[in-house]
A and B are shown apart, each in its own frame.
Chain A
Amino acid sequence: MASSPETTSPALPPGVKKTAPAPPPSGLHGIVAIPMITAAKQFTRSLWRPSTIVYPYERLEDPSFRGRVAVASGRPIGVGEVWDNYRGVHALNITTCISCNLCAFSCPDTCIEMVSVPTEGGKTKRCPQIDYGKCSFCGFCSDACPEGCLTMTTNYTLTTSRRPEMVYSPQRMYSIYHSKLPMNPIRLERPENEDCILLDQDLCIGCNACARDCPTQCITMIDIPKPEPAPGQKLPKRIWKEPSVNDADCVRCGTCISVCPKECLYWGARP
């Protein structure tokens, strides 16, 4: 033989010999008897308890399933938990929400809408409202949330027969937050070389819009010296202030960039 299987298959690591697959069983024994016996074994094994559960009436979280079902992580499912990083319905802590809009911005399904929520003192603030008819449970919103106030719980029973009930208001997600369901771990660490807000000083007119709308109030307007105009030169018409961003408090929401009327703020590498 000119070529044997060992020499013609380069994918095999050295020292491993390719063995020919066993020929399929043939004859009445192989074609009829073995499959019939296999089916009968499966039938008797399944008679007492099939692998499937009767879902609405039985759930994997039920105590009778404790330790029975191994998930991909190798851990058995215990009582009251599904997976520790299961992405179920959201929980929202309204009190820590800073209305930064990052969740709605990061949502690929555009299912998050920022709606007004009354807070203490007669004021309102804008918090996310989620339409679960559109949500794909990707978890980008909770990853993007800089304050860790929007997280996902392990509750997966969202069944309803009416479409309006699929829209969860911030208050409803706040009550889910209070029900102390197991939640996804909140990740607040940020990359080292993160972009920050930079200012083009020639374009700025000192209008205060960025400082007014910053959810973390990390922008302060500082006075800048009014230059002496050269003869024949006209000074630009502006307020002689410019924003100063406290980079430690900034959550990178980009609100200041979007509200700037002169497009003088931009993302850039930290100087």
Chain B
Amino acid sequence: MSATLYDVAYWISSHLLGALGGLPASSLPGAWGVGATALAWLITAAVVFAASLVNILVLIWWERKLLGRFMDRRGAMHVGFAGLLQNLADGLKLFRKQVFSPREADPLGYYLAPTAYLITSIVLLGFLPVSAGFVAGAVPLSLLLALAIFSFAPLFIFVGSWSSNNKYSLIGGMRTAAQMVAYEIPLLLSVVSVVILSGSFDLGTIVQDQARDGWYGAPLILGLIVFSVAILAEIERIPFDLPEAEAELVEGWNTEYGGILFAMTMMTDYIRSLVGSYLVVLLFLGGWTLPTWGGLGILSSFPLSGILWFQVKTYIVFGVFVWVRAALPRVRTDQLLQIGWRRMLPLSLLNIAIAAGWVLAGWPHLTWPSV
């Protein structure tokens, strides 16, 4: 197995500190060793953070270009190559704007909500493995942790909307809370089927199992569909963007946010879109691995190929999300609850039964059950 991101960071930091103190880099004594470890973590976090932000910019560009073609136009064209730097320019513009809050708003909640919304979403990027080595903190229960942190967002959206002291914001926040009731249970139940097949809550292990046994998207196609629909509701994209609903609520729950605060909410929306696409790829589409039968093994044999293929899959999944956005209208709250409780919940339960059936049949080496 190749070196992980942390290994590279530790090599850099230990050699840096060793050169500073005139010490051997391989065995730094006492406080120097602690410092090297801390510096290595800082470097790792910075690299993951920077890579994720660049990824976000490209992801927004990808959405704008795809959406443009869906609408018979071109999308951003002028800044950078084919408009690649347009989002950077937009972000810089928002960054230069004045930070303000409405007079009647509650400052604590108003400023805290987008900050916490952003931070909890960025934390997710820290332990989602992008490839076998490119992960900042590999924790054994990363899947559970990811889903737990992922579902923080409605709380902060509600706090922010309530603190804004604006009726449109408040309606958006209420809708977030109502929406959460609809999608959270099918989402978790469809994840259960993956855990049944894999037997692990560790995303890295789940991906390795898929590389060995085949992608779970094939036997659990029902789970893939339910999970994708539920993740669309989780990341609040059309057709489930009830909290934003520009046509009805002015700008939804972040109506009162401007400047960098708006940029933070906007960026967090796309971080969550990225993380949602990551999760679909990790759980159902084999993560950073590609099939190795035939001559296909050569595709994943060159350095950093895992990162490349993971990003390619992520962008394809996100492209499907954009396709859905271009085609489907927004659902009402009651329709969303209908979809969640009367369609997706039975389907996810059926999916669990199917997963149990696969295990009973001896997945991945299928035999007829001898019972």
Which residues from chain A sit less than 8 Å from chain B, CB to CB? Answer: 31-32, 35-36, 38-40, 42-43, 45-47, 50-52, 54
B188 at the interface (CB under 8 A from A): no
Are B68 and A50 interface neighbours, CB within 8 A? yes
Q: Of all chain A residues, which has the CB nearest B329?
A: A35
B155 at the interface (CB under 8 A from A): no
Known: A39-B327, A43-B326, A45-B72. 7 other contacts (CB 8 A): A35-B328, A36-B323, A36-B324, A38-B327, A40-B323, A40-B327, A50-B72
Pick the contact of A39: B68, B73, B323 (CB < 8 A).
B323
In the complex the two chains form, what is the Cα distance from A11 to B74 in whole Å? Answer: 43
* 24 interchain pairs, CB-CB under 8 A: A31-B328, A32-B328, A36-B323, A36-B324, A39-B70, A39-B323, A39-B326, A39-B327, A42-B70, A42-B71, A43-B66, A45-B72, A46-B69, A46-B72, A46-B73, A47-B69, A50-B69, A50-B72, A50-B73, A51-B72, A51-B73, A52-B74, A54-B74, A54-B77
Q: Of all chain B residues, which has the CB nearest A51?
A: B72
Q: Of all chain A residues, which has the CB nearest B73?
A: A52
B34–chain A nearest beta-carbon distance, Å? 55
A121–chain B nearest beta-carbon distance, Å? 52
Are B74 and A50 interface neighbours, CB within 8 A? yes
- List of A residues within 8 angstroms of B68 by Cβ: 50
> How many A-B contacts if CB must be within 8 Å?
42
B198–chain A nearest beta-carbon distance, Å? 30
Q: Of all chain A residues, which has the CB nearest B331?
A: A31
Of listed A31, A38, A39, A42, residue having the most chain B CB within 10 A? A39
Are B72 and A52 interface neighbours, CB within 8 A? yes
B81–chain A nearest beta-carbon distance, Å? 14
In the complex the two chains form, what is the Cα distance from A29 to B251 in whole Å? Answer: 31
- List of B residues within 8 angstroms of A39 by Cβ: 70, 323, 326-327
In the complex the two chains form, what is the Cα distance from A39 to B69 in whole Å? Answer: 10
In the complex the two chains form, what is the Cα distance from A31 to B239 in whole Å? Answer: 12
Q: Of all chain A residues, which has the CB nearest B325?
A: A39
In the complex the two chains form, what is the Cα distance from A52 to B323 in whole Å? Answer: 20
- List of A residues within 8 angstroms of B72 by Cβ: 42, 45-46, 50-52
In the complex the two chains form, what is the Cα distance from A32 to B339 in whole Å? Answer: 13
Of listed A32, A39, A43, A45, residue having the most chain B CB within 10 A? A43
- List of B residues within 8 angstroms of A38 by Cβ: 327
Of listed B68, B72, B73, B323, residue having the most chain A CB within 10 A? B72
In the complex the two chains form, what is the Cα distance from A32 to B323 in whole Å? Answer: 11
Given contact pairs A43-B69, A46-B69, A50-B68, A36 touches B327 in the complex (Cβ within 8 A):
yes
In the complex the two chains form, what is the Cα distance from A117 to B72 in whole Å? Answer: 51
- List of A residues within 8 angstroms of B328 by Cβ: 31-32, 35-36
In the complex the two chains form, what is the Cα distance from A263 to B56 in whole Å? Answer: 76
- List of A residues within 8 angstroms of B70 by Cβ: 39, 42-43, 46
- List of B residues within 8 angstroms of A54 by Cβ: 74, 77
In the complex the two chains form, what is the Cα distance from A36 to B323 in whole Å? Answer: 7
A154–chain B nearest beta-carbon distance, Å? 26
- List of B residues within 8 angstroms of A35 by Cβ: 327-328
A65–chain B nearest beta-carbon distance, Å? 16
- List of B residues within 8 angstroms of A31 by Cβ: 328
Q: Of all chain B residues, which has the CB nearest A57?
A: B77
- List of B residues within 8 angstroms of A43 by Cβ: 66, 69-70, 323, 326
Of listed B68, B69, B324, residue having the most chain A CB within 10 A? B69
In the complex the two chains form, what is the Cα distance from A51 to B68 in whole Å? Answer: 11
Q: Of all chain B residues, which has the CB nearest A44?
A: B69
Q: Of all chain A residues, which has the CB nearest B326?
A: A39
B73–chain A nearest beta-carbon distance, Å? 5
In the complex the two chains form, what is the Cα distance from A36 to B144 in whole Å? Answer: 33
Of listed A32, A45, A46, residue having the most chain B CB within 10 A? A46
Q: Of all chain B residues, which has the CB nearest A45?
A: B72
B222–chain A nearest beta-carbon distance, Å? 14
- List of B residues within 8 angstroms of A51 by Cβ: 72-73
**Interface residues in B305-334 (C-beta closer than 8 Å to A):** 323-324, 326-328
